Structure formats: structure tokens, C-alpha cells
Chains A and B, each alone.
Chain A
Amino acid sequence: MEHIRTPKVEQVKLLDRFSNKSVIGTLHLTATHLIFVESNSTSAQEIWILHHHIASVEKLSLTTSGCPLLIQCRNFRLVHFVIPRERDCHDIYSSLLRLLRPVSYDELYAFSYNPKQNDQQREEGWQLIDLAAEFERMGVPCDQWQLTDVNREYKVCETYPRDLYVPITASKPIIVGSSKFRSKGRFPVLTYFYQEKKAAVCRCSQPLSGFSARCLEDEHMLQAISKSNHNSRYIYVMDTRPKLNALANRAAGKGYENEDNYSNIRFQFVGIENIHVMRGSLQKLLEVVGTRSLSMTDYLVGLENSGWLRHIKAIMDAAIFLAKAVTVEGASVLVHCSDGWDRTAQVCALGSLLMDPYYRTIKGFMVLIEKDWISFGHKFADRCDQLDPDPKEVSPIFTQFLECVWQLTEQFPQAFEFSEWFLIQIHEHVHSCQFGNFLGNSQRQREVLQLKERTYSLWAHLLSEKQNYLNPVYSPSFAESHPVLEPSTQACHFKFWRNMYHQYDRSMHPRQSILKQVLTFKESNRELEGTVQALKTKLQKFGVSTSPLKPQTPPRDRSLPLRPQSLILGAPLLSRKEVQQEEDEEVFGEEAREDAPASTDGERTVEGSSATENGYGELTGSFGSKNEPAVVTLEFGVARMTC
């Protein structure tokens, strides 16, 4: 709290990002959040911004109405405040600067966040995901793969987890030797086992081959992986980098596998760009879509120039290559990039998701993230800028993975147990630092931080709200007909993920949400099933025998958690009563309203949206009559339903 100089500022104006509209409210600064409470209106919208979500704060030059403060968030929210007094603005600004740059892990929200759970509940939360059980589910250990304790003390590779699975023929000296020949010691280990064909997906970092170096142990290691799969005489080695990057690495003593030195490998570059290109790409994308009064041409040209969808497609193409090699050819695949924690994680995780329907369930998706991202050391702290920021380390690698999954949900609407809201929620919390899961860069670091003792697990939190994240049209039988997803990779099937990148921009969203509607119907169905059952029981008391209801899942606990406010789900659910009330007003209130002073209250909106955006046209100028307002600027575009 010592960093907060001014905890409360009144009469702050919040400008809408895409229009000239604004609302007045009070700004509160707390130790964890920046809160804006709209005054005056009945809806009194509140905006809560977690300090950790703030990517940058900018103080713009003073204007007549006050001092503008521009805040950009990692969850793609952008808020523009105008604070009446410069001093207040400066206080907020400097407090925020300090607050959004925590200097130690202890300052992160996760260490103070307390969801009112006891220790046991917290522990249970952390036990939800068990990676040993996950490998067991895949059928590992087995006659060809075993658990090795070589990294028990993080001595061979400190960015890997303790438990690693390797071919039974890979002895310790081979492992250790191989790890010395791999960047950061990240030697080839198993990440997914395709039981049906006994084919393995392994991951590692680039070999330290330089121009001519070789390592017999590493060659043995690949040989061992190859030998463990009797279905195929060769293994694929996928270098997920563009060839040029891999070549450049050779000069630094790193590089890629020389096919002459490794027997039975098929080497393949797949050309995914590095973290710096991805960072720049997202930045360009956000700049384009953040433009006011964007024309279609500028939008499409900007989308193209950002390269964002090209990168998404490249990742998808790589994952499809991996899935095909494993499921069709039955070949094992070794995936790497430079350090094996960015592109490698993307491709392995997405590839596994294509091959294994389990990862398309809510629980399975958590397991997948826990395995390929968290345990294998994707550097969340660096990539998501959690602490001690190095701008060169920040990159939307994980966001891209989530987007690839979203693209798949668009092509296969029934394949996933979760909806896009689940993906967006995960994205939110990767940056929120509210839960312990994504803190730090590696398992080892997480243990040092004692996260399991001191913080809570996101997965438990998400599971407790599972109802909100369900995909209402999910069909478990889809997995039987489509065990392996074969998405189209035609460019025209990749779309801009508006609900992610504009999740806080009301004006961009569909005015009514199909997802919300169908979820509501599903919930209503469950309730009605219960009612039918109850009525039948009552009827039985009267001696009326009724045919049993079609076998359905037993009605579950009906006290659903409150649906979080989300624009993609529309405004908070109105109860049927309220809706009815509104409709009545619509019918009967017309006459009365006409006398009411014209104000924004006179406008009704669908989904509670009230922001406006770039208009259909500016009707500036007047007829030259004094009666007309001098300037008639009309802004529209939002679902404004008028009465």
C-alpha cells in the first residue's frame, strides 16, 4: 500500500476506444486492482483491472478537459481515462508504474489471493492434475519406454521436470551424453505416446552440432527412440524453425541434425518464426485492429502485413504434419526448435490434441497444458512478462497455441468439451498471476517458490465454474468418429479471433450470443428434467404410474455458479422475470417515455451494451437554422435498441 499515493479520484472520464462516447466515474487504486466505477447511470458499470494485466501506462499531454491516461492490458483491454487534475493523474501514473513492476515473486497477486479455501482444499486443487497418471493413460511405462530418475535432482536439465520418460535402451550415460550435446541440456524425452501404433512424440532442443560436431550418445539416443517403435524403420526429426534460422545457429555452435550422422532419420524443417517475429506480429495486429474508423481495405491489408494468421497457419501445418506422421505412418517423431520450449511446445501440444480426443475435454486440456507447457518449462514468467521484465523475452507463444485450438473449434464445433470462453479465461489467468500454475519459468523454480503451499491452482478454480465453459453442442461420440482431427489448412479457413483480441470492445461483438442461448437451453433442459421427475413422484402418490423418463443424466446440483461477465456471452444473464419486465416496458412504456427528457436512459441496448463505436456516417453541419444543434454527430454501430 505504500506505493499508493492517491487511492481515489473522482470525476474521471472514461473514453470509449472506438467512438467519442465517454462516461464519468470514480477511479480507485488498490494494492491489486485499478477500479473504475461509473457514477450516475443505473447500470453503474464497473471495470476492474488487475495490476498484473497492465502492460503499459502512458500519460498523454494535458488537454482542456484534463490529463489523459492510456492503459494497455495484456488481455487486450485498452482503457483511456481523462483525469481532471494533473496532480492526481501523475500520482496514479507513478503509483501504477511501481505497482505493475513487481520486484519479487512475493509481490505477485497469487501470494495474497485467498479464495477462502482451507489447506486441504488447496492441496486437492493441486492434486487435480497428475502427470504420472497421464503417462499411464497413454500406456507408459511399457516394454519400450520407462521412467528415468536421471533428472530427479534437476542435475541433467534444470528446465525439465523431475520425471522423464525415455526408451528403455537409453542408458544413463547415453542420456547424460546426449544432454550435453543439446542446448540447455534438453535431451530427447517422451511427451506423447500413440498407443495404437506404438509411435512416440519426443521433444528436445537443438543439437550443439555447429558445422561439424557430432555426439555418439545423441545419435544413440535417437537410435533408441527409433528402435522402440517397430512399426517404422525411421523417425522424423522436425526442426520447427525456418531453415535460415537453423543455419544461422550453426555459426553459434548450435544447429540441426546432420542426416549423415544419424541413421534412419527423416529430417524436416517446418518454418515457424521465432519469438521476436511473433511479438512484432501481434503488435502489428493490435495496432491495426485498434485503429478507429478502420476501413475494410486497411483491415485486410493490415491483417496480411501483420503476418499473424500466417504464423497461426504455420503452427497448425506443423502440428498436422506431426499428427499425420504418427497416426498414418506410425512413425515416431522428435520435435525441436532452438531451446525446445516455445515452438516445440506449440507443435507437440497441438499435435497431441489432434491425435487424442482426451485433450479436447476440459480436464484433458488442462493436463495437456500442464504437461507440454508448464512441466516442460515454457518460460511463462518471461514470455508473459510476470516479473523483472525483459521486453525481448516477451512473446505471445502460448496465446498462439490457444488461438490454434480456437481455429480448430471453429472447424469442429462438436469436438471440444469446452467453448472459446474457456480458452479466453485461461489466457486471462496466464497473465493475471492470480493462481500459482503459470508463475515462474520452470518446475524447479516453482518448487523453490513453494507455489503448491502458498498459492492456489487455477484448474480447481476453473473446474468449479465448469458449467460456464461447456460447449453446449459437444458430442462425446464425435471422438469415436473422429479420433484424429484433420483440419483444413486452406488459408480461407483461418479467421481473425475477434472474441479474443476484442474481448473488451463491446461494439465489435455480435449483439446476441448463440453460445449463451444454447447454454441457457441446456441448463433449462436439466432443470426441466428434474421438474418432470419430481412431478412424476408426486403423481405416483396418487397412484398414477408414469413411464420413466428417457434415460438421461441425473439432474445435477442446480445451484450454478454465477456466470462471469463476459462480452462474448453477452451481458450478465437477466432472469426471465427481468426480461419480461423489460418487454412490458417496451409495450406499455412508450407513451410515457416521450415526455421524459431525452437522455441516454432513453436508449435500450441488447446485451446491456452501451458503448458506441465509429459511426455509420457523420452528419456534421447544420441546416443553418438556430433550432438545429450546431453539430450533429451521430455515432452508431452498437446494438442500441431504442425505445
Chain B
Amino acid sequence: MEFAELIKTPRVDGVVLHRPFMPTVEGTLCLTGHHLILSSRQDTTEELWLLHANIDSTEKRFVGSLGTIIVKCKDLRVIQLDIPGMEECLNIASSIEALSTLDSVSLMYPFFYRPLFEVIEDGWQSFVPEESFKDLESMTDEWRLSEVNKDFSLCPSYPSLLTVPKDIDDESLCKAASFRHGGRFPVLSYYHKKNAMVMMRAAQPLTGTNGRRCKEDEKLINATLCAGKRGYIIDTRTIAVAQQAKARGGGFEQEANYPQWRRIHKAIERSNVLQDSLIKLVEACNDQSHSMDRWLSKLEASNWQSNVKEILTTACLAAQCIDREGASVLVHGTEGTDSTLQVTSLAQIILDPACRTIRGFEALIEREWLQAGHPFQQRCAQSAYSNGKPRSEAPVFLLFLDCVWQILRQFPCSFQFNENLLIMLFEHAYASQFGTFLGNCVAERGKLQLSQKTVSLWSWVNRPQELERFLNPLYEPNNLVIWPSVAPQSLLLWEGVFLRWNRSTKCLDEAYQEMVHIIEYNKELQNKVNSLRRQLAQLETEDKMVADLK
């Protein structure tokens, strides 16, 4: 086994574990290729199993021969291990360091994980593009499934099957692809059944400084407009940023070349700025010595809530253009793999009730994030405790989840799932035993043979036993568009993630349980009433029959 050489000391006795709001545990620390395990000798239930992949950074301290390792996790938890013996401590620390920063994807835990449950429905097959295209076909015949990207040569970050306007042939698609950053030509993201308007997404057009144009690109997006109708292009960047992009060969759609489109610029931050925002926010949340003023000013300085507001506002705007204005929309930023996806996926949650079910939400993540080529592996390589200079890490997906949580808070009865599902997705995007979030795009996942070699997260989540935890007891399906408030007073800090480890949630959890209990009791009573009524009705008819006979 390759890991053996990295593990200098596989086990140490007498290690003391400190966790926030839990009693300290003394036990034996074991290192395996993928886990850090601490088990107390007295009681086997007290165990800590921590994936090395979940470790964001470590710090070590020494007092005499007692070493302390502070382990900071990607799920934002911070734990402390007191390890007797300097050598042991140093060995453990360097092993953790090495094991948590393995470069090779194929050494990751998902490739070694064997599920202890029976896979009833293979999550890898749960959401295939052909299926969602069938749904589309039932609503409109304006679109076709193109295989132009079959070998991923046209656009490496796109999937092999793409939904494009029926009238645009593959040759035009190739030309349009050459005009868009990373080959990400405009493709269908969402079809709004109510008024037949669509949302498309792409990357920035490569206009450059001399205003290059591409007839095929223009034709492609115009093909989505009904006669006489106009559309909106939502550029997630400010006009200034979009202008600067020209110097690097990028740019935006010129009015002259796209007369049927109106461009709106918004200001969603780029990934490196978002990473910085996350680091600052988590630091503010973890510092318990704050006065009120310091806390509020640090919260403000982190800009996290501003980012949430901006993303949500842009998504609402896109939804508004489609539903209220009856216009089609094209969304893009620079690469079309980050802010673009935040906007298109959130807009669908607002517009499409199907996305508010568990299954529909999973499908949305599969479609708009995994298939659409959000580079999960790069973005989630490190979390809020990374010390080094960020390469391409960014909490793009976490911000999306935060925005979903904000909508969930405002429409607590409109979602089939609860906050737990969102938190679970956050955890698994950063470290998981499942292969779902490995790789950066469909092509990479294919090469890694994830669907053969790893288990899909959906295989696990969709088991009835697991699903229960994620169900929202207040859910009452509604078919309406839900417009959230984006006023700062209406947007809250997502305590379930950011304050999760520095408060005891016992009281809140118990209150939630009580609510679940009330609702379940209601169902129980209703069943009881129904069965009693039936029983009574039956007796009454019998009685009547007896009477009639007499």
C-alpha cells in the first residue's frame, strides 16, 4: 500500500481530543491511509473518524514533551489533539500533512471506499442528459441534442451532449465555440414552460480589443428569440471588468452586433475575491473575544453577505426577465463556470417548483454544476483555513448553497428538503467518500472512470433511510414562482454552517424535533380519524341493511 511510507507512527495511545461543545475524550489515535481515527478505550461509541481529505490545515504546539495538533477542517470544524511524546506528535503531524494533501486524485478515498449499504439505485445513472431532454421534448420541439462535443474537443469543460436550438447545425456550433472563452458556446440551461422563454448560458465572447464578431454566435442566440421578441444578456461582471477583459481577448456582446439583446451588467465577484471573503468570514465567526462593534465590522469587512446579496439579486433579475418580462436570457461571466452557474441554478429554484424537491434539486446540481463543468476539484481543494496563497480555490458552490438557504428561510414551506441537505452537500463537495464531486468536468470524470470505480453520492442520499434526515416536514408543494427579498435585513448569516462549531445547537435541534413531532402527530391523528370514520360508516351501512331486512 502506497500510504504506508507516509505513516510514520500508525498509532499513539493516551491522546486527548478536544472538540467544541463536547466532552474531551482520551483514547488511541490511529492513522490509516484515509482516516484519522480516535477511539476511546472505555467506550467504543466515542469515536472520531476524520477523512484526511477533510483537513484544511494543521498547527502544532509543544509544551514540554506534550504536543498539541490543532486540526482545522474543511467543514470549518476545529479540533485539538493532545499527543504525549514529541516524536509521536511530530510524526503524526507530518503524516496528516502529507496524507491530506495528496496530489493524485486516484489516491483519494472514493476509490477505496466500499459502501456498507446495498446500492439500490445507482446514482451515476440517476440523472442522464437524455432523460432531461425527453422532458424538454414534451414541451417544445425547438431544441435538439447535439453530439458535436462527443470527444470533448470542441469544449473540454462541457458534457458530450448539449441542448442547442434545432435550427443551428453542428458546424455553426463549432464556429460559435471558437468565439467563446473555453469553447463554451451558448447552450440551453432552462426552459420556462409557462411562457416558452429560455435561459441560456455561455462564457464571454472573444471580441478582443478590435471588436471581433461571429455571425454564427449571433445567429445561435437569435435563434432562441421568437419573432419580434427581444432578450436580455446578463453579464455577471461590472462593465469595467468586462471592458478590461477585452485586453485579454475576452469582452462582451456589442449592441451593434446584437441589436435584439439588451445587456445588463451585475457585479458578482471573481473566485479569488470570494475565497478571501470566506477566509475573513470564518475568522470573524471563530473569534469569540469580539465586542459587538468588532464583530459587525469584521462581518462587514468579509463582504460575504454582500456577495450573497449580489448573487441572489442577479439570479432574481434573470428570473424576473424570464417570468415577468417574458424575455429570453443569456447569462455569462468570464469562463461561464462559476458566477454564471450560480445565477442560472438559483434562477431555476425561483422559477421552477421541480427544483425545490429533493430529486429536482439533485438533478439541478447534476445539470447546472457537475455536467456544466464547475471545476469542483480546483474550487474545493482548500477551504477557509488554507494558509497558502489560493490557487483556484473559491467557495462558489458554498455561496450558491447559502443563497438557496436564504430562499429556504423565506419560503420554509416551499422546499421538500431542509437545511441538512444543503450542509451535507457543502461537506461532500469539500471531502467525501463518494466520487460525485471529484474531477473538474465530465471529461475528467470519464477519464477517472468514476462511475465504475467510485460510489455516487446520490446512491447514498436517495436511500429512504438517509432521505428522512433531509425532508422538510413543513413542505407543501406549490407551483408558483417564489420571489425572495434581497433586502439586507432579510438576508441572514447562515448559522448552520458558519456558527455550527462555536455554539451548542442542542436547544435548537430539540425545538426542531418538537416541530417534527407536532406535524407527525397531526398525520397520525388524521389517519386515525379516517380509519374510525370508515369503521363507523361500515357499521352504519351494516346496521341499515339489518334494519332494511327487518
Contacts and interface: CB of A to CB of B under 8 A. Distances in A.
B532 A535 contact: yes
B490 A498 contact: yes
A304 B296 contact: yes
A77 B4 CA distance: 68
A472 B539 contact: no
B507 A413 contact: yes
A586 B521 contact: no
A494 B321 CA distance: 37
Interface string B290-307: 111111110110010110
Contacts of A631: none
A472 B518 contact: yes
Interface stretch (A96-104, A123-131, A431-439, A611-619): A611-619
B294 A522 contact: no
A511 to B, nearest CB: 5
Nearest to B528: A532
Contact of A294 (B314, B480, B487, B522): B487
Contacts of A613: 485, 487
Contact of A642 (B264, B323, B414, B522): B323
B525 A532 contact: yes
B293 A18 contact: no
Interface string B266-310: 100000000000000000110010111111110110010110110
Nearest to A513: B412
Contacts of B486: 614, 616, 637
The DSSP consensus for interface residues of chain B is helix
A623 interface: yes
A592 interface: no
Given A310-B293, A414-B507, A639 B483 contact: yes
Interface residues on A, range: 35 or more
A544 B324 contact: no
A641 B317 contact: no
B262 A521 contact: no
Nearest to B542: A542
B503 interface: yes
Interface string B489-529: 11111000001001100011011001100110110011011
Nearest to B490: A508
Interface string A324-358: 00000000000000000000000000000000000
Contacts, number: 233
A60 interface: no
Interface residues of B, number: 81
Interface string B308-345: 11000110110011011100000000000000000000
B529 A535 contact: yes
Contacts of B502: 490, 492
A1 to B, nearest CB: 40
A241 interface: no
A521 B305 contact: no
Given A639-B482, A641-B482, A532 B487 contact: no
A441 interface: no
Interface in A376-411: 411
A491 B289 CA distance: 9
B535 A539 contact: yes
B411 A300 contact: no
A539 B534 CA distance: 11
A522 B528 CA distance: 16
A569 to B, nearest CB: 13
A496 B489 contact: yes
Contacts of B288: 490
B543 interface: yes
B391 interface: no
A443 B522 CA distance: 47
Contact of B518 (A307, A310, A525): A525
B272 to A, nearest CB: 20
A634 B316 CA distance: 11
A586 B480 contact: yes
Interface string B341-361: 000000000000000000000
Contacts of A639: 410-411, 482-485
Nearest to B299: A300
A502 B489 contact: yes
B175 interface: no
B323 A300 contact: no
B316 A636 contact: yes
Interface string B239-260: 0000000000000000000011
A500 to B, nearest CB: 11
Given A294-B488, A310-B292, A490-B502, A528 B410 contact: no
Nearest to A507: B485
Contact of B324 (A511, A614, A642): A642
Interface string B194-227: 0000000000000000000000000000000000
In the A-B complex, the 7 residue pairs with the smallest Cβ-Cβ separation, listed nearest first, are A491-B295, A641-B480, A299-B488, A413-B511, A300-B300, A528-B525, A304-B296
Given A304-B296, A511-B414, 15 more contacts: A294-B488, A294-B489, A473-B514, A475-B510, A508-B487, A512-B412, A517-B412, A518-B515, A613-B487, A616-B486, A617-B314, A619-B262, A619-B264, A628-B230, A639-B484
12 contacts: A294-B487, A296-B300, A301-B296, A490-B503, A510-B412, A512-B410, A514-B474, A532-B532, A586-B479, A619-B264, A640-B481, A642-B480
